Amino acid sequence: MQTPKLILQNLLHNEDYCRKVFPFLKDSYFENPVDKHIFKLIQEYLIKYNRRPTQDILRIELETSSTPQFEECKQLINELTSNNQDIDWLVNVSEEFCRERAIYNGLVQSLDILNDKSGKKEKGQIVGILEDAIAISFDQHIGHDYIDDFDERYDFYHTEEARIPFDITKLNDITGGGLPNKSLMILMGGVGVGKTATMCSMAASNMMLGKNVLYITMEMAEERIAERIDANLLDTSLADLRLLSKEAYTKRVEQVRSKTAGKLIIKEYPTGNASVFNFRHLIHELKFKKKFKPHILYLDYLNICSSARIKMSANLGPYSFVKAVTEEVRGLAVENDIPVISATQLNREGYGSSDPGMEHIAESFGTAATGDLIAVIIVNDELAGMNQIMFKQIKNRFDDFRSNKVFIVGRDLAKMRLYNVDRDTTPFNSPVLEVPNKSFDRKKVLEGFK
């Protein structure tokens, strides 16, 4: 018996099979027009009445439908008699059938895109179409039963979650050892406080820990981001970087290469012209062309992304637009099972405040609703004089944000590097030298912050 007929037969006569398989079936998987028409009749009845039709019902429905293959359809309905098959085998056969048909349809769709001369169809979609087809799976999980699934829940509590650690002790403290996958961290700050410098330092640290890092920039050129990473990892100031001879520069880069298996890819997009659609395509391209799969993504930054779902307009306003962008970015983190670190601006009131909070997020409070960890970067004259910055937590889904709500981190701005300020902790292990610690009056600096 052919698989399409086997599927139709069991949709009619096997309740368990129908409930498990029907949600994943599409009429496009049925190539024969007769099979497709019968499936549509079954599909319409199931959706409308939430139960399986009988053969008699199908015959009646066929009479009222329009199809040039009426007699062939009638004959097929008569052949869909009950049988007893192993349900696990049936589900596996059906899943393989759907995957093969999805791949075939994806190839046809890809050829149509390749042959399009109008330029309206984006060729970058092809990778995603084929990956989605290959990934077809009948997910049987329908939710967590609080009572019956307590064993699984207990195991989850005692399973160490994959995290991307920071080189800064306090950041690890507030995240339980680093950022978990499928999460979004947002850095807030006014113009010039060092959001990009902070992300560059974090990205350099991730790479030196052997992680693959993807850094997407829409505010600064790729070369400028790479320059900041160079200053960090080659242990030289931005001013002195260009004074290095080619031989000395090559030697330091090779030294970095010898110390890590991690890779860092920096990609620039025009300001306001790239969305999650572009980022998703980039991840697909890197996977196929460079065998590169990121462990973490840096996005510089949220407010200058475009939305993949909606267009910015005078009627829409920045709240809904930036909220949509933030939701799409967090969705990308979930889709790729990685953490994302991005940034957003403070509004005018927040920029002038000595103690900014969640109400000072620029353009959209929806950003605060979506981020998992949100921290404000604060710099004042006293902190700047001691080469330090302050982090203030305003939201934390990983821990009580009132614990370590405000903390100090050292920053060597010339070398684009963050470091621990406590003497009993070790700064970032750069390939060359450590940054010296500086003393500070912690009580005085933290005074006045909520």
Closest-CA residue to 384 (of 413, 355, 361, 353): 413
Sole residue written with tokens 């475009």: 306
pLDDT of 313 reads 62
Contacts of 216 (CB under 8 A, 6+ apart): 266, 267, 268, 269, 274, 279, 282, 297, 298, 299, 300
pLDDT of 422 reads 67
For the 3-134 domain, the top CATH level (class) is mainly alpha
pLDDT of 28 reads 92
C-alpha span between 21 and 17 (Å, rounded): 6
Tokens representing residue 431 in the block: 């390939």
Domains of the chain, by residue range, sit at 3-134, 163-446
For the stretch 385-414, pLDDT in tens is 899 999 999 899 988 877 788 999 999 999
C-alpha span between 204 and 239 (Å, rounded): 19
pLDDT of 437 reads 39
The DSSP letter of residue 354 is S
The model carries a pTM of 0.67
For the stretch 22-49, pLDDT in tens is 888 999 999 999 999 999 999 999 988 8
pLDDT of 445 reads 44
CA atoms within 13 A on the CB side of 216: 29
For 217, the 3-state DSSP assignment is: strand
Q: How far out from the chain centre does Cα 79 lie?
A: 48
Element (H, E) at 193: none
Sole residue written with tokens 């909606």: 310
Closest-CA residue to 282 (of 361, 222, 355, 353): 222
Q: Please report, in tens digits, the pLDDT of each residue of the chain (450 residues total).
A: 689 999 999 999 999 899 889 888 999 999 999 999 999 999 999 988 888 999 999 999 999 888 899 999 999 999 999 888 888 899 989 999 998 999 999 999 889 888 887 777 777 678 777 877 777 777 666 678 888 888 888 888 887 778 999 999 999 999 989 999 999 999 998 888 899 999 999 999 999 999 999 999 998 999 999 999 999 999 999 999 989 999 999 999 999 999 999 999 999 999 988 898 889 889 988 988 899 999 999 998 888 888 877 776 656 667 778 888 899 999 999 989 999 999 988 866 766 666 777 666 765 566 777 889 999 998 888 888 899 999 999 899 988 877 788 999 999 999 999 999 864 333 334 333 333 334 445 444 445 555
Element (H, E) at 144: none
Contacts of 429 (CB under 8 A, 6+ apart): 167, 208
CB atoms within 10 A of CB 407: 20
C-alpha span between 269 and 296 (Å, rounded): 18
For 363, the 3-state DSSP assignment is: coil
For 163, the 3-state DSSP assignment is: strand
C-alpha span between 225 and 299 (Å, rounded): 12
pLDDT of 426 reads 37
Task: Answer yes or no: are the C-beta atoms of 42 and 80 closer than 8 Å.
Answer: no
Which of 1.10.3720.10, 3.30.365.10, 3.40.50.720, 3.40.50.300 is the CATH number of 163-446? 3.40.50.300
